[in-house]
Amino acid sequence: MDRVIFHIDVNNAFLSWEAVHRLEQGISGPDLRTIACAVGGDIEKRHGVILAKSMEAKKYKVQTGEPITDALKKCPNLLIIPPTHSIYGKYSEAFMNILHKYSDKVEQVSVDEAFMDMTGMEKLFGAPLEAAARIQSEIYDSLGFTVNVGISSCKILAKMASDFEKPNKIHTLFLNEIKTKMWPLPVGDLFSVGKASAKKLNSMGIMTIGELAQTEPEILRSHLKKHGECIWRFANGLDESLVEPVPAENKGYGNSTTLPADVTESAEAKKILLSLAEKVGRRLREDDARIEVVSVGIRFYDLSNISHQMVLSSPTNITAEIHSAACRLFDEMWDGTPIRLLAVQTGRVSHGESNRQLSLFDNTDYEKLEKLDKAIDDIRKKYGSDAVCRASFVERI
C-alpha cells in the first residue's frame, strides 16, 4: 500500500494565536489577522525580529526573521505586538490533540506543525483530500485558526506541499506531480537548502529544483559533501523516513539553546552540541533510562528550521555516544547558514540494563565511558554543576 503522509502547518501561528486569544478574552480592537500586524520580540534584545506576520503585513513584503526596524521601514504603520509565550502552549496542545483523533502516528515537529501517517485511514475519514478538509474544518471550528495541509507519499514532499499557496489551503505533491509543481521553483525553496547552499548552487548554474534534481549526485557531493546528496534526494522526492510518534515519557529527554550570537563555525556548533548532549545524558542516567534515537534540530538566523534523526545500533545514555551521533547529523545537514538555535532530542526510551550489540570492529570501551559519566555525575551532584568542566569549554567560561 502506498503511504499517505500529511504535513499540517498552522498559518502564521503566533499571530493567529494572539488574535484568537484576544477574541476569546473580549479584548476590543480589530482581528489582528485583518490588519498590518506582526508579533515581534524586544528590539533592545536578541529577539528583536519579526516572529509572525499577518497577510496584510506580507503585502508590504514584511518577512519573518527580519529585524523589526527593517519591517517598520517597509510598513511604517505596522502594529508590533510582543509575543505571549504563555498562551502558545495551550493552543499548540489543543491543535495536536485534534490531529491525534485522526491518526495514532503523529510526529510533532514544532509547536505549530506536525506530520501524520494517514495510510489506510480512507475507510474512517475518506480519501486524503476529504480527510484533510475534515481536519482543517475541525481545527478552525474548534480553535478558531487556520492550517495548511500538504499531502504526499513521503514527508519531504508533504512538507513542500504545505508551503505552497497560503493560508487555509490543501495541496498535494505526489511523485508524478513534482515535475510540474516543484521542479520549476527556485532551488532555495527546497526544504533544507539554506541561503548559503542556494548561493553555491546558483554559482554552479543550478537555479531551479528541477535543475538540482537532474544534476549528477557526484558533482553535488564534490561541492556540498553529504548535504549535496541529501538535497539531490529531496529534489527527486526520495525520502523513506518514517513518521515517528514520540511517546509522552520520551518528551523530557531533550535540550535546546538559543544562541546570543549567530554561530557560523562548525567547531563552535559542536561544542554547543556537546553541552546539550551532556545535559540530556545526565537526565537519562538519573532516570536509569537509555535511548535509541538521536535527532538534531537547527534554527537558522532567518527562523527557518531543519532537523534530522538517526537510530543507534544499541540503547545508550553515554554522553560521548549521544554527542557523536549529534555531530554526524549536524555534518549531514548544515550548509554554513548562520545558526540561531541548536537542539538535541532523543527517542525510543527504555529503562534498566542495556542490551548492547557487540561488534568485532568496534573497540570502544563502553564500560569505561559509563564509569566516567557516573563519576562526573557524582561530583556535580555533590559539589555543583560547575565542579567539573570539559577542557573544550574552558575558553567559554
Catalytic residue set: 113
| Cell representation of residue 313 | 545500533
Which of 5, 9, 10 shows the shortest CA–CA distance to 20?
A: 10
The cell numbers describing 389, all together, are: 568542566
**Beta strands in the chain, from DSSP E residues, in sequence order:** 5-10, 37-40, 50-53, 79-81, 106-110, 113-117, 147-152, 170-172, 254-263, 289-300, 305-316, 339-347, 350-351
Buried b (16+ CB within 10 A) or exposed e, 280-301: bbbbbbeeebbbbbbbbbbbbb
How remote is the C-alpha of 235 from its chain's centroid? 19
Contact indicator for 339, 301 with CB cutoff of 8 Å:
yes
Cβ distance 33 to 16 under 8 Å?
Answer: yes
CB 324 within 8 A of CB 271: no
Distance, CA of 116 to CA of 124 (rounded, Å): 15
